[in-house]
Structure 1
Amino acid sequence: MGLIAVKEANCKNCYRCLRGCMVKSLKYKGNKMDVIEDQCILCGNCIVTCEQKAKILVNDEARIRRMVEDPDTRTVVSLAPSFIAAYGQDNRNRLVGALKKLGFSFVEETSIGASEVTRAYRDLIEEGRMRNILSSCCPTVNMLIAKYFPDLLGELAPVITPAETHARMIKKHYGEDTKVIFIGPCLSKIHEAGESDYLDGALSFGEINNWLEERAIRVEDSEVMDFDKHSGYSRIYPIENGILYDLKQKDAKNTYDYLAVSGLENVKALLEEMQAGKIEKAFVEVNACTGGCVNGPLMPGGRQSFHRGRIQVDKYARHPIGEDAPVKVGMACHHKEEMVEANIPGEATIRAILSQIGKPTPEQELNCGSCGYPTCRDKAIAVYQGKAELHMCMPYMFDMSQTLANVTLSVTPNYIVAVDEDMKIKECNLSAQALFNVTRNEALQKYIFDFIDHSDFIQVMDEKRNLYDKKVSFENLGITVNETIIYVDDQNIAIGILQDITAEEEAEQKQYDLKMETVEMAQKVIDKQMVVAQEIASLLGETTAETKVTLNKLKDLIADGNEK
């Protein structure tokens, strides 16, 4: 597992971390950014620039705590000299007391090792055999060269870092079983500790602060204790030009031009110039962090006060108490190549990718950088490499959404109008413009009550509650609509969607009129039939009576005849 993890729920697709990553060692997939570990140089910019705190440090802090709290284990702090910027000059010796209260056996400054590194640089300068000499103190810069400028490894000083030097000195002095823990503001130092045979772990100032807080230890209230060993002027290392200042203190014979370069973009530009052969016989102090280690990615409170920190470190370094005699250790190293394969597609492939997002020609490449890549071509290459998704293009997605919105608003037969709290029209679609018989510009100078009854809009704005499917007739316009009005809280506007149902209403009225006409006709038939029935009944009644009389007479005649 790498040192940087991503909280998926916090990642908001803003591409800010990608914009801050000089080597683009991030992969966008599944709506979040992941770190590509073998391409990362651990500059920590993605942690610093992520406002959503989606990038977090992953460290084996629990293992280090167990080591320190074990009474049978001797642990020594190698404290980065940038601690002055983090805790202040007044707390210098109180911090030593606080660290020992946590359980550390001894506390020393990493600048003890830095002093020996300066001597090694001085020897290289005096030998004068290297074309250029790049300082090797910053692990991030070392990784940048090994992965992306491997042909310059021969110009990287073959000298271990101050932290590694100090760790070797500590183990030689206190015993090989001693555990050495580096404390500082640097992410790549944690990686260095994981790769080292001498450093047993590394913690950030922030992790130390959390530990102190858990133990209810305040640095300001801790016992004043001196460092177990003293360092000299090499405390100047954390600020830009610090190594160069220290070299001058060590009386190096200056056969090289001196140059200090800090900040990854500047370092990259330097390395490109060196690749092109434009720089000869220069000793270059290189630092990934702008202004030096006092601007490290894991400084407490971020990078808001690094200028003040530079002043504090400078004052602290210029008044050394005295330097203990160094413990001599081997300091030579061989920097290994770790080149990242570029895997660049051909021109036809790049053009085909760009064409899919509306950029078939170079003239249509905006190179706005909103996706996190400096140019549209770089983004297309990242898509080909599987590091980016095709539609990570904000101008394209904006144009697409605008097109879809405009088409939707234009073709819909519904009348759509948005008003503010004063009932002034803020927007309206083509259908509404046609209904009101105005242009858009004319409509935006009017109020909704200039055209229709606005009482429902007033109600929605006052109550901040939506109104759905209310049938309303606007007699002045000769229409009937189903009215839906939506309140938009963040913009404090009301959007009315008026569905014209005039034709349906007219059809329904016609159907009703037809039904009523049919009912009336049926009633007339019924009434006529009732008259006829009554007349028939009357006639039937008369004929029935006459028939009865006749039949009775006939019966009597027959009866009389039989008697005779």
Structure 2
Amino acid sequence: MDYIKFTKANCKNCYKCLRSCPVKAIQFKNEQAKIINDRCILCSRCVLICPQNARKVNTHINKLKNALKNNKKIIVSLAPSFAGNFNFSYKKLIGALKTLGISYVEETALGADITSRLYEKFINNNKMPYYISTACPSSNMLIEKYYPELIKYMLPILSPMACHCKTLKEVYGKDAFVIFIGPCSAKKTEYELHNKDNILDAVITYEECIKLLDDFNINIESSPDIDFDCNSFNSGPHYPIPGGICNNIKDSLKFNNIKPIAVDGVYDCIDVFENIKKGYMKNSFIEVSICKGSCIGGPDMIQNKHIYYNKLEKVENYIKNRTLISNEKLNKKEKDLSIKNFSKNFIDKSLEDIIFSEKEMEDTLKSMGKYSEEDELNCGVCGYNTCREKAKAILKGMAEPTMCLHYMRNKAESISNIIFENTASCVILLDKNLNILEINPAVETAFCVEKNAIKNKHISILMDETDFEYVKNTNKNLLGKKVHCNNYNLVFIENIIYIPKQNIFMASMINITELEKNKQNMKELKKTSFTAAQEVIEKQMRVAQEIASLLGETTAETKITLSNLKKFVNTDDEN
């Protein structure tokens, strides 16, 4: 079951979730984050640290609403960390729950008392080098999935929640609808396990509890003051405080000469498990809690508005001032404890580690732009500590090459540089004062300058600044204007754009100098051609006139000759 999911619409590929995940249980595929359940320990760090709030947590709210609708007898087991997570009296919260339709509200701390007594029995009857507490479901999953060799040291006892809910079912009847309210989403994995055994019907977090009351328009502050129907007589409420379990069984630990060690926070838990693997710290009872500050911190400690020590103080004050209320049936059940009735088996859930060849690793590193050891920056931006860890994740299908920020930046810069360096247009970048930041080779060629010689100098060193001043003062872009740089005999189609985000100006200028020269040459050619044609025509006209004149003279002479010939012929006829 997907206990926690990321919503597709909101994931922005910042990899903050992966960087916060201690076991790298998050897969990125097609630029979308997905939690892989087989690897996840449900510490909730990823979803709570997500800046886009791209989370969707599996909820049992509808189960509870259906139970209310069907008028079921509903029993609440309220985790002892509640006192630190609310800014109002716990009696107001119980009053609000009763107003909602809850039949009974009791402290989970009673289950913690049961767990403590069972721990003591096990320790007194079983000699081991290490005893690891099993009240935290996330630490249990961390061992089962990543330190299976330590399972033999886990105390095979149900968690306080499960112990209490099992007892509530026996006291109030198997048909009672039993829910647990606490700070931890990981408890929902216990629901999946214990619902089949009819121990537990629903798990909701404090956050979901407040939302549920809001849905029913129940104002907690105006609710009546009602106390627990039953709470713990012993030290169960100390469980959410770091060292609380050790404190509860301190007499048995002292009697058996066992050293108590309490660790909270996932990385401290990992550290202590690594020490146990190496055989250090023998003859110890290890109290482990994945959340920093134990259950008082809870998984919402990362973004919770209440600072930890304020929450700790509120829990301690509650423990000190609370009223003790007894339930005879529950008290009798606590005295009649059997490890067999509250036992739990832990199993190896580890994934087989895949060994990849050096060739596969090298090919994958190259796909990330890592061609040598110098390219392996091991910056951790992608969420993996080293580039080689990232390469392994890619081979396992957990990551993508594009997750490397440096690789993508270099790739983008490479493409940008290719375009910038090879474009035929002249490109000039200017700062807010119109000083030259960058020019491309086309500018160097056109203006016969070197980049370093004019960098950080005013644009007027190259060309008239009037158009640039206009764009600067009006914030209006200038597009498609023909300009002449007479000092350099250059002509451009000028585009000047203001980029507000970077507060810079970009001039992109198409060099049309040769085109303009060609136009001028064509104009001169046309003029010359016209003049030559005119001269030819005039000459032809003169020739024509001369020919005409000559033709006129010869025609007159011919006419005279013919006239004389005619006279001569006529004279012969008369004779």
1:214, 1:546 → 2: CA distance? 130
Contact 1:126 1:252 in 2 (8 A): no
Whether 2:202 is the aligned partner of 1:201: answer yes
| Counterpart amino acid of residue 84 in structure 2 | A
Does the Cα contact within 8 Å between 2:43 and 2:186 map onto a contact in 1?
A: yes
Residue 343 in 1 paired to residue 354 in 2? Answer: yes
Deviates more, 1:437-446 or 1:327-336: 437-446
Pairing partner for 1:380 from 381, 391, 415: 391
Shift of 1:367: 1.4
**1:473 deviation in Å?**
1.4
Is 1:469 the counterpart of 2:470? The answer is no
Aligned to 2:232: 231
Question: Is 1:32 aligned to residue 32 of structure 2?
Answer: yes
Q: 1:269 to 1:301 in 2, by over 3 A?
A: closer
- 2:168 is equivalent to residue 157 of structure 1: no
The answer to whether the 8 Å contact 2:92/2:221 transfers is yes
Partner residue, 2:75: 76
Q: Which stretch of structure 1 is more off in the superposition, 329-338 or 278-287?
A: 329-338
Describe the shift of the 1:15–1:251 C-alpha distance in structure 2 as closer, same or farther (beyond 3 A): closer
**How far is the alpha carbon of 1:69 from its aligned partner?**
3.2
Paired residues in the alignment total 562
Contact 2:495 2:507 (8 Å CA) reproduced? yes
1:241-274 deviations in whole A, cap 9, x for unaligned? 2222333488973521111111111111111111
Please say which of residues 434-443 and 545-554 is displaced more in the overlay: 545-554
Q: 3-state DSSP class of the match of 2:170?
A: helix
Q: Per-residue displacement from partner, 1:420-444 (whole Å, max 9, x unpaired)?
A: 2221223333443565666545534
Distance in 2 (alpha carbons) for counterparts of 1:318 and 1:539: 143
After the TM superposition, which residues 236-275 of structure 1 pair with which residues of structure 2 at under 5 Å, given as runs?
A: 236-248=238-250, 253=255, 255-275=257-277
| Cα shift at 1:535 | 5.5
Q: What letter is aligned with 2:219?
A: R
Shift of 1:514: 1.6
- How far apart are residue 304 of structure 1 and its match? 5.6
Deviation at 1:296, TM superposition (A): 2.0
Within the candidate set 127, 149, 152, 1:129 is matched to: 127
The amino acid of 1:414's aligned partner reads: S
Point out the more displaced range, 332-341 or 247-256: 247-256
Distance 1:298 1:67, change over 3 A: farther
Counterpart for residue 355 of structure 1: 366
Matched with 2:492 is 481
2:15 aligns with 15
- Name which of 501, 520, 525 aligns with 1:490: 501
Deviates more, 1:322-331 or 1:60-69: 322-331
Which residue of the other structure, out of 278, 281, 287, is the alignment partner of 1:279? 281
> Which structure 1 residue ranges, 5 or more long, are not aligned?
none
Are the equivalent residues in 1 in contact too, given 2:45–2:302 (CA < 8 A)? no
Q: In the alignment, what sits opposite 1:143? A: 141
DSSP 3-state at the match of 2:221: helix
Instruction: Quote how far apart the aligned CAs of 1:558 are.
Output: 12
Does the CA-based 8 Å contact 1:193-1:201 persist in structure 2? yes
- Alpha-carbon distance, 1:452 to partner: 1.1
Distance 1:316 1:557, change over 3 A: farther
CA-to-aligned-CA distance 1:9-39 (integer Å, 9 cap, x gap): 2111111111111111111111111111211
For residues 80 and 107 of structure 1, the distance between their equivalents in structure 2, rounded to whole angstroms, comes to 11
For residues 408-428 of structure 1, the C-alpha deviation after alignment (integer angstroms, 9 at most, x for no partner) is 433444332211222122333
Aligned to 1:424: 435
Q: Distance in 2 between matches of 1:513 and 1:550?
A: 55
Determine if contact 2:229/2:325 at 8 Å carries over to the other structure: no
CA distance in 2, matches of 1:217, 1:411: 68
- Whole-angstrom CA distance in 2 between matches of 1:61 and 1:118: 30
Q: Determine the C-alpha separation between the residues in 1 that align with 2:506 and 2:135.
A: 61
CA contact (8 A) 1:185 1:299 kept: no
The partner residue of 2:462 within 451, 466, 483 is 451
Matched residues in 2 for 1:429 and 1:307: separation?
A: 59
Cα distance in structure 1, aligned partners of 2:60 and 2:126: 42
Q: Give SS of 2:75's match.
A: strand
Task: Report what 1:191 is aligned to.
Answer: 189
Using a 3 Å threshold, how does the CA distance of structure 1 residues 333 and 520 change in structure 2: closer, same or farther?
Answer: same
- Secondary structure, aligned partner of 2:321: coil
Change over 3 Å in CA distance of 1:99–1:508 after alignment to 2: same
Match of 1:107 in 2: 105
> Using a 3 Å threshold, how does the CA distance of structure 1 residues 460 and 431 change in structure 2: closer, same or farther?
same
Contact 2:124 / 2:252 at 8 angstroms: preserved in 1? no
Show the counterpart of 1:222. Answer: 223
Any idea what the Cα deviations from partners look like across 1:378-406, whole Å, max 9, x if unmatched? 11111111111123222233233333333
Q: Verify the 8 A CA contact 1:181 1:201 in the aligned structure 2.
A: yes
> How far off its partner does 1:301 sit?
5.3
The separation in 2 between residues aligned to 1:433 and 1:300, in whole angstroms, is 54
Aligned residue for 1:213?
214
3-state SS of paired residue (2:502): coil
Distance 1:537 1:166, change over 3 A: farther
Q: Distance in 2 between matches of 1:266 and 1:203?
A: 27
TM-score relative to the length of structure 1: 0.91
Once the two structures are TM-superposed, the CA of residue 8 in structure 1 deviates from its matched residue by 1.9
Closer, same or farther: CA 238–452 of 1 in aligned 2, 3 Å: same
- In the alignment, does 2:384 pair up with 1:389? no
* Closer, same or farther: CA 545–384 of 1 in aligned 2, 3 Å: same
Aligned residues of 1:164 and 1:199 also touching (Cα < 8 A): yes
Question: Whole-Å Cα distance in 2 between the matches of residues 386 and 405 of structure 1?
Answer: 30
Contact 1:460 1:487 in 2 (8 A): yes
Residues 351-398 of structure 1, C-alpha deviations (whole Å, 9 max, x = no match): 332234343444542211111111111111111111111232222332
Amino acid at match of 2:40: C
Distance in 2 (alpha carbons) for counterparts of 1:489 and 1:301:
34
Q: Which has the larger displacement, 323-332 or 127-136?
A: 323-332
Q: Is the 8 A contact 1:86 1:299 kept in 2?
A: no
> Mind listing any 5+ residue stretches in structure 2 that lack a counterpart?
none
> How has the CA–CA distance of structure 1 residues 170 and 414 changed in structure 2, closer, same or farther, with 3 Å as cutoff?
same
Return the alpha-carbon distance in structure 2 between the equivalents of residues 526 and 517 of structure 1: 14
8 Å CA contact 2:426, 2:443 repeated in 1: yes
Aligned residue type for 1:373: Y
SS in 2 for 1:22: coil
CA RMSD of aligned residues (A): 3.1
| Separation of aligned partners in 1, 2:556 and 2:239 | 139
Residue 510 of structure 1 aligns with which residue? 521
Residue aligned with 2:200, SS: coil
1:237 and 1:441 mapped to 2: Cα distance?
68
CA distance in 1, matches of 2:251, 2:98: 32
Query: Secondary structure of 1:503's match?
Result: helix
C-alpha distance in structure 1 between counterparts of 2:423 and 2:306, whole Å: 52
State how far apart, in whole Å, the 2-side matches of 1:205 and 1:440 are. 63
Q: Secondary structure, in 3 states, of the residue corresponding to 1:219?
A: coil
Contact 2:84 2:315 in 1 (8 A): yes
Q: CA deviation at 1:159?
A: 0.7
Contact 1:187 1:298 in 2 (8 A): no
